[in-house]
Structures are given as structure tokens and as C-alpha cells.
Amino acid sequence: MLRRAIVMLAALVMGASVTLTATAGAATYPGRSSSTLIPLPHLDYAYQLGLSSHGGLHVTDPRSGNVYKVSNGTISVGRDHYGCPIGIAYDASGNEFVTDGCTGRLYEFAAGASTATVLVRHLSQGGSNSILIKWGRIILANETAHTVLSFNMDGTNPTTLLAGGSGGVAPGFSPTGIASVGNRIAVNDGQSNTIYLCDEGCATMKTITGVAASNDAQTLATGAGGSLLEAAGRNVWQRVGGTWTKLLRAPGNLDVATIFTTGGSLYYVAESCGRSKIIMTNLDGSGSTILYKSPTLIPVDAPSQPRVC
């Protein structure tokens, strides 16, 4: 899948952290034409959104190696200590938990801290590693390892909740999205177009059919009334009473990269080819507000060498 391929590419080019190189007020990225200029800071590839009770809305960008803070229509570097930050979640105290696809680690930044604590090492590098806090534990979906894991909040006591080819889970299980739905978690299998719903410890499990197979967005969130939301292509879909209906469509020709809900609001990132918007709506899809819009790109590639997205 495209999202996994991009993260794995970032992992391959990482001898150290992926960093932006300033060039006349712009930046270039590893693996991208050096003649393509991008204003700084720039959200290039959003992966997961998280909302801290202390620090506001944040989004991970594994291409730039940054966790960006969204505020007043702009983004700023909240954390740049990561290689390829992918999953992000916050606990009630505002502590930040981030998975790094380049180092294969799970980090914790305690609220107000300037340095991170490594909670888990040796996760599969390049995996999606989307995370959430549920049941007083850290729940981690590792796409390339074909597993969903559960940890104590300090990273100890790892427990496998779902694994490909085991307990009724498809052999090629590739969890691309994870969400809390009532007292259960929902996990999207990007390979089989199946969503697994399971209770604490996944002692019991049921499956439902997702919206679209082989789509590189496929992230999940909780909708109004405990319904399930799924991002697929340019749309966000809602499942009520066993039926999927379109909740909203991203503006322009942008795709929905990731979705996140909290406090009666839906947040999503719409992006395509270096253009991105972070948008907030009500849970019913109404009342759209643009929280961030990427600056205009300044491509200077020769016509025979178009910018690679």
C-alpha cells in the first residue's frame, strides 16, 4: 500500500533523523528532486492526528520527521526529535505517545518534558503503528508485523490482541487504522477490506465489511451515537445500522488521509501531491472549518522532469 511504502522508503533513507534542509526560505526532502522548493514549515504527509488536553491539535508527518502543532491557521514544529513519527496519542494528563517507523520504537514525551523516554524497542520498522489509549493501556496496530499489540502505559507487559492467521484473523492481516468504539476497538485490515471489532483483550470478536479495499487512507474513528467512521479515497463514510453512507467529501481533488474525533468534532486531513488541509467539522459532517492550509508550492522542475509526489 502507498502509505506503508512511503514510510518504509523514509526508513531506508534514515541514517539519522530525516531533516529539512533550508534553501532560500524553502526546503527539499530526501528522495525528491532538489529543484522542488517547499515553504517551511510544510505538512507534507500527514499520518495520524492527536489532541492533547494541554497542547492542542497535533499531526505526525513521517516524511519531514516532525510532529506539528496546529494553531491559528498555521503549523509549528511541536517535536522534531523523531525519525519518522507515525502514530500519536495522548493520555488524560497530556503525555504524548509516538511511534517511530524508522527506529521501530514507541516513545513517551511526558507533559512539559524536553526529552523522550523509550517505552518499547524493536517494533517492526516501516509499519503503520497507529496507536490509541484504551482500557488504561496503549493499543498499537503494527501493519508490517500483522499484529495489534497492547502494552501497559509504561511499555511493559506486551500482549498480542490480534495476529494474522490466528484466531479468525486473515493471514495477510495489515492493520491500517484503529479506533475506540464504545467499549471495543475497531481495527481496519487494509488487505482484506475487513474491520475487526473486539472487546478488552479481544476475547470476543466480530467482523464487518469496510467501504473500500486497497485504499491507502483507510483510517477509522468514532462517529455520532457510537457509529463507526472510515476514511476511503476522497470520502469519509459512516456506518449506522449495518449500512455505510457517505458523511462528507474532501474539498477539491484531495484525498482524506486520516480522521480523528473527539469532543463532538471530527478532524481530518485532506491532501494530495504536497497540498494539504486540516479541517474540523461537526460529527454529522456540517460546519466545515479549515484549521490549516498548506502554502502554495513553488515547483521549478523542468517540464521533462515533473515533481514526484
Q: Model confidence over 63-103: pLDDT tens digits?
A: 888 888 898 888 888 766 678 889 999 999 999 999 988 88
Q: Write down the pLDDT at residue 17.
A: 35
**pLDDT above 90 (res 11):** no
pLDDT tier, 62 (very low <50, low <70, confident <90, very high otherwise): confident
**pLDDT above 70 (res 2):** no
Put the strands of the sheet holding 56-61 in their side by side order.
Answer: 49-52, 56-61, 66-71, 74-79
What percent of the chain has pLDDT above 70?
78
Put the strands of the sheet holding 275-282 in their side by side order.
Answer: 255-262, 265-272, 275-282, 289-293
**pLDDT above 70 (res 1):** no
Q: How far apart are CA 292 and CA 177, in angstroms?
A: 23
Q: Write down the pLDDT at residue 189.
A: 87
Q: Write down the pLDDT at residue 9.
A: 45
Calculate mean pLDDT across residues 95-119: 88
What percent of the chain has pLDDT above 90?
42
**pLDDT above 50 (res 303):** no
pTM above threshold 0.95: no
Q: Write down the pLDDT at residue 294.
A: 85
**pLDDT above 90 (res 196):** yes
Q: Express each pLDDT in 218-234 by its tens digit.
A: 689 999 999 999 998 89
pLDDT tier, 272 (very low <50, low <70, confident <90, very high otherwise): confident
Q: Write out the three cell numbers for 129.
A: 503503528
Q: Write down the pLDDT at residue 136.
A: 95
Calculate mean pLDDT across residues 16-41: 39
Query: What are the two backbone dihedrals, phi and then psi, of residue 8, each rounded to the nearest 5 degrees?
Result: -65, -35
Give residue 65's region: left, alpha or beta (phi > 0; psi -120 to 50).
left
CA angle 184, 69, 233 (to 5 degrees): 55
**pLDDT above 70 (res 24):** no
Q: Three-state SS string across the chain, please?
A: CHHHHHHHHHHHCCCCCCCCEEECCEEECCCCCCCEEEECCCCCCCCCEEEECCCEEEEEECCCCEEEEEECEEEEEEECCCCCEEEEEECCCCCEEEEECCCCEEEEECCCCCCCEEEECCCCCCCCCEEEEECCEEEEEECCCCEEEEECCCCCCCEEEEECCCCCCCCCCCEEEEEEECCEEEEEECCCCEEEEECHHHCCEEEEECCCCCCCCCCEEECHHHCEEEEECCEEEEEECCEEEEEEECCCCCEEEEEEEECCEEEEEEEECCEEEEEEEECCCCCCEEEEECCCCEECCCCCCCCCC
Q: How far apart are CA 113 and CA 52, in angstroms?
A: 14
Higher-confidence residue: 125 or 217? Answer: 125
Question: What residue has cell string 512539559?
Answer: 112
**pLDDT above 90 (res 198):** yes
pLDDT tier, 241 (very low <50, low <70, confident <90, very high otherwise): confident
Q: How far apart are CA 187 and CA 170, in angstroms?
A: 12
